Chains A and B, each alone.
Chain A
Amino acid sequence: DQQVKQNSPSLSVQEGRISILNCDYTNSMFDYFLWYKKYPAEGPTFLISISSIKDKNEDGRFTVFLNKSAKHLSLHIVPSQPGDSAVYFCAAKGGSEKLVFGKGTKLTVNP
């Protein structure tokens, strides 16, 4: 029973364009959402988060949007850079401290 779903295993975009990574969740108890970036053979690096009381949070080139009614969130990266190429994980928590992760989306930014 996958509570956090990232339905696109991979995404390829051109440098300078927008990258949009999507995430859906099923558990209504989730009230905090995070995005992590992961390079091979390294641990996940925290990128940006959003509380369920907000619908948008922005940090530099990264913006996360939350649509609670649709149980959907997305990460926008503008402009995309080759160094952004990595696997991006969506994670959620609610009612406990444990994070529930999606399976990840591999982003490739082509020069």
Chain B
Amino acid sequence: NAGVMQNPRHLVRRRGQEARLRCSPMKGHSHVYWYRQLPEEGLKFMVYLQKENIIDESGMPKERFSAEFPKEGPSILRIQQVVRGDSAAYFCASSRIIGGNEQFFGPGTRLTVL
């Protein structure tokens, strides 16, 4: 019973490049959440998606960031034209149904922007 899977685990990009982070939810889970953790900080909500729908993107920066959860395949968090301030750990979580209060997290992708 595989947990939430994220890849890559580590990603290094130069300023101006694009970063693509992937997340496969737990089996049977149809809700995906993305969080970002900056050094010495707690996790900050970014976006909540269901299949083919963005439900809540109130935590997403207005520019350069986008997320999708297609009908087939993993959820993707895309960061265009990365800057040094984007360096962080990005965590994906999934839950079973709406109102399923427990979110289960993946191991994270650590993005480093040079």
User: Contact residues of A with B, CB < 8 Å?
Assistant: 4, 6, 32, 34, 36, 41-46, 49, 51, 89, 91, 93, 96-104
User: Contact residues of B with A, CB < 8 Å?
Assistant: 4, 6, 31, 33, 35, 40-45, 48, 55-56, 58-59, 91, 93, 95, 98, 101-108, 110
Given contacts A98-B56, A98-B59, contact A104 B98 (CB under 8 A): no
Chain B residues within an 8 Å CB radius of A42:
107-108
Chain A residue nearest to B46 (CB atoms) is A98
How far, in whole Å, are A34 and B93 apart by their CA atoms in the complex?
14
Chain B residues within an 8 Å CB radius of A91:
43
Task: Check A97–B43 contact: CB distance below 8 A.
Answer: no
Shortest beta-carbon contacts, A-B, top 4? A101-B42, A43-B105, A98-B45, A103-B42
Chain A residues within an 8 Å CB radius of B42:
4, 6, 89, 101-104
Chain A residues within an 8 Å CB radius of B45:
98-100
How far, in whole Å, are A102 and B101 apart by their CA atoms in the complex?
17
Chain B residues within an 8 Å CB radius of A100:
45
Task: Check A97–B106 contact: CB distance below 8 A.
Answer: no
Task: Check A97–B4 contact: CB distance below 8 A.
Answer: no
Given contacts A44-B43, A101-B43, A103-B40, contact A96 B56 (CB under 8 A): yes
Chain B residues within an 8 Å CB radius of A99:
33, 35, 43, 45, 93, 103
In the assembled complex, how far is the CB of residue A52 from the closest CB belonging to chain B, in whole angstroms?
11
In the assembled complex, how far is the CB of residue A84 from the closest CB belonging to chain B, in whole angstroms?
18
Task: Check A97–B56 contact: CB distance below 8 A.
Answer: yes
Given contacts A42-B107, A42-B108, A43-B91, contact A101 B101 (CB under 8 A): no
In the assembled complex, how far is the CB of residue B13 from the closest CB belonging to chain A, in whole angstroms?
19
Task: Check A49–B44 contact: CB distance below 8 A.
Answer: no
Task: Check A32–B43 contact: CB distance below 8 A.
Answer: no
How far, in whole Å, are A89 and B35 apart by their CA atoms in the complex?
14
How far, in whole Å, are A98 and B106 apart by their CA atoms in the complex?
16
In the assembled complex, how far is the CB of residue B22 from the closest CB belonging to chain A, in whole angstroms?
14
